[in-house]
A and B are shown apart, each in its own frame.
Chain A
């Protein structure tokens, strides 16, 4: 640690430049990560909203409807199915038209069709489910909003691909900028590196102080950016609570784990900090490694 501080003190402007670049990159990355987690969470939430509604003929026995419901549940493509009986449909109708007694008098439960509201696990399953339902004998009508689902799917795909490209760009840009900054710093120590080589220092020995300094900067920059973002979360928490009323939770499915983004929780914050540390330290170390490589051929 003492050597790191001495090195930072002896080249304060270069150190500050490298630190600010790293901090900016990490802060931007972390902000982007959180924003994308939220967007992904919201999209994942919205993806489960589209549904297929299937209306059965009024005389269809409940057993036939339940048979179809059970088959769909067993397919693994369905998140949940809500059965609306004729009586339920009538109750909904009554509720919707409670201010219009004339309409209520004209309708009884017998003429309303029973239905199933099907929530798919993923929107891509919806056409498949609809096709399956159309082939069933007692089905009167199958409804699902194909255009909206398609648009949502396209938007989700673009956002996911876009974020991947942007993240990749950010990583490459950070490594280039940091390598250049570190190169400036190392150039000042070119003579020292040449001397160390002549005294028999190994490449790892020569690299070590730069790697250690990189790790220190990575750690400090990621901690600072995390703390600033954490403060922002705490500040905006009441606003988000009112804005996201009715949304029970938002989660980010990373294949390996499912990370709950909202409501804020310790696991999400720990993941954020961990990611920031890994990202920051990796960028700093890789940059130091690349920068020193050029000067090791003495």
Chain B
């Protein structure tokens, strides 16, 4: 469970990325974070990943206050969150298999387990025959699939995606969303997006942000700004 309690993030120049934002996300929930650019979607993801600390308020994940300066289990926290970055962050000198296997290796899985899990995950995201292919040979959609595979391999509890369909054509974007749909009910899924078609079609929980404030939180909501 993720709990944001009056979380604010203020930048040194004085502008707020987030302003007293509060919400709770239950285990295995499927949530869209929507809002225009600069609304604070990425900041929420970065706070969940503990890339930075909030200026005020608290963030509790699985009953641990990760916003406390005394929180030292950052690596353990990150190991249970699969993240799909906006810019993919695919390693260009590693092939598809190696890119996905990174997660398993960090989790300390054996070579046999890693092979098994990576292959199963690549099959799930539709990259079964691309194990040995290098990123430069892949399309944007395929790169996004590699990023998703890396985020979901190794039984992570949370899956966080920052604009996973941002650079993709509508057809590929829907194919990517189908992968997330397949994982529904297995993991807590948080997707930051401004793809209104997808949000409106899927009818999931929608948390709407604008200028750093939470303006709407609705079950089976739509892209409504």
Q: Which of B77, B83, B93, B102 contacts A196 (CB 8 A)?
A: B102
Task: Verify if A195 is at the interface (C-beta below 8 Å from B).
Answer: yes
- Total A-B residue pairs with C-beta atoms closer than 8 Å? 37
What residues of A have a CB within 8 angstroms of the CB of B75 in the complex?
Answer: 200-202
Contacts of B77 in A (CB 8 A): 200
Within 8 A of A (CB), among B90-109: 91, 93, 102-103, 105-106
With a cutoff of 8 Å between Cβ atoms, the chain B residues found around residue A67 in the complex are none
Residue B152, interface by CB 8 Å = no
* Chain A residues, Cβ within 8 Å of B63: none
Knowing A200-B77, A200-B79 are in contact, say whether A195-B106 is a contact too (CB < 8 A).
no
Contact across chains for B78 and A200 when beta carbons are under 8 A apart: yes
Chain A residues 188-236 with CB under 8 Å of chain B are 191-192, 195-202, 205
| Contact mask for chain B residues 41-79; partner A; CB cutoff 8 A; 1 contact, 0 none | 000000001010000000000000000000000111111
Distance, CA A172 to CA B214, complexed state (A): 56
Chain B residues with CB under 8 A of A151: none
Min CB gap A282→B, angstroms: 27
In whole angstroms, what is the CA distance A199 to B82 when docked?
8
**A202 CA / B107 CA spacing, docked (Å):** 10
Q: How far apart are the CA atoms of A198 and B81 in the complex, in Å?
A: 10
Is residue B220 within 8 Å, beta carbon to beta carbon, of the partner chain?
no
- Mark out the residues of chain B between 204 and 219 whose CB falls within 8 Å of any chain A CB in the assembled complex: none
A297: Cβ under 8 A from any B Cβ: no
**Interface of chain A: mostly helix, strand, loop or mixed:** helix
Residues of A36-54 whose CB lies within 8 A of B: none
A interface residues, how many (CB within 8 angstroms) = 12
Q: Which of A10, A191, A192, A199 contacts B79 (CB 8 A)?
A: A199
Q: Are B106 and A199 in contact (CB-based, < 8 A)?
A: yes
A10 and B93: CB pair below 8 A?
yes
A9 shortest CB reach to chain B, Å: 10
Question: In this complex, what residue of B is CB-closest to A195?
Answer: B89
Q: Does the CB pair A198–B91 fall under 8 Å?
A: no
Chain A min CB distance to B216 (Å): 29
Could you tell me if A205 and B106 are in contact, using CB atoms closer than 8 angstroms?
yes
* In the bound complex, CA of A204 to CA of B81 (Å): 20
Contact with A201, one of B93, B106, B150 (Cβ below 8 angstroms): B106
Partner of B91, one of A191, A201, A205: A191
CA distance A10 to B98 in the complex (A): 14
Given the contacts A198-B49, A199-B79, A200-B77, A191 and B89 also touching, CB distance less than 8 Å = yes
Q: Which residues of B contact A200 (CB under 8 A)?
A: 74-81, 106
Q: CB-nearest residue of chain A relative to B51?
A: A198
A195 and B217 CA atoms in complex are apart in Å by 31
The binding surface of chain B is classed by DSSP as helix
Kindly supply a per-residue 1/0 record for chain A positions 134-160, scoring 1 wherever the CB is within 8 Å of any chain B CB and 0 otherwise.
000000000000000000000000000
> Which chain A residues lie closer than 8 Å to B103 at the CB level?
199
Q: Which residues of A are found within 8 Å of B102, using beta-carbon distances?
A: 195-196, 199
Chain B 122-142 interface 0/1 with A at a Cβ cutoff of 8 Å (1 = within) = 000000000000000000000
Q: What is the CA–CA distance of A195 and B78 in the complex, to the nearest angstrom?
A: 11
**Contact assessment for B106 and A196 in the assembled complex, using a CB-CB cutoff below 8 Å:** yes
Q: Which of A41-73 contact B (CB under 8 A)?
A: none
> Which residues from chain B contact A201 at a C-beta distance below 8 Å?
75, 106
Which residues of the other chain, A, contact B93 by a CB distance below 8 angstroms? 10
| Contacts A201-B106, A205-B106; A195 near B91 (Cβ below 8 A) | yes
Bound CA span A191–B85, Å: 13
The distance from the CB of B68 to the nearest CB of chain A, in whole angstroms, is 18
Give the distance in Å from the alpha carbon of A202 to the alpha carbon of B75 in the complex: 6
Give the chain A neighbours of B78 by CB distance below 8 A. 197-200
Produce 1/0 per residue, B150-164, CB < 8 A to A: 100000000000000
Q: How far is the CB of A7 from chain B (nearest CB, A)?
A: 9
The complex places the Cα of A200 from the Cα of B79 at a distance, in Å, of 5
Residues of chain B contacted by A205 (CB below 8 angstroms): 105-106
Most buried by B among A195, A196, A198, A199: A199
Chain A residues within CB distance 8 Å of chain B = 10, 191-192, 195-202, 205
Q: Known pairs A195-B91, A201-B75, A205-B106. 12 more at Cβ < 8 A? A: A192-B91, A196-B102, A198-B51, A198-B85, A198-B89, A199-B103, A199-B106, A199-B150, A200-B76, A200-B79, A200-B81, A200-B106
16 contacts between A and B (CB under 8 A): A10-B93, A192-B91, A195-B89, A198-B49, A198-B51, A198-B89, A199-B83, A199-B103, A199-B106, A200-B75, A200-B76, A200-B78, A200-B106, A201-B75, A205-B105, A205-B106
What 3 pairs across the A-B complex have the smallest Cβ distances?
A: A200-B78, A200-B79, A201-B106
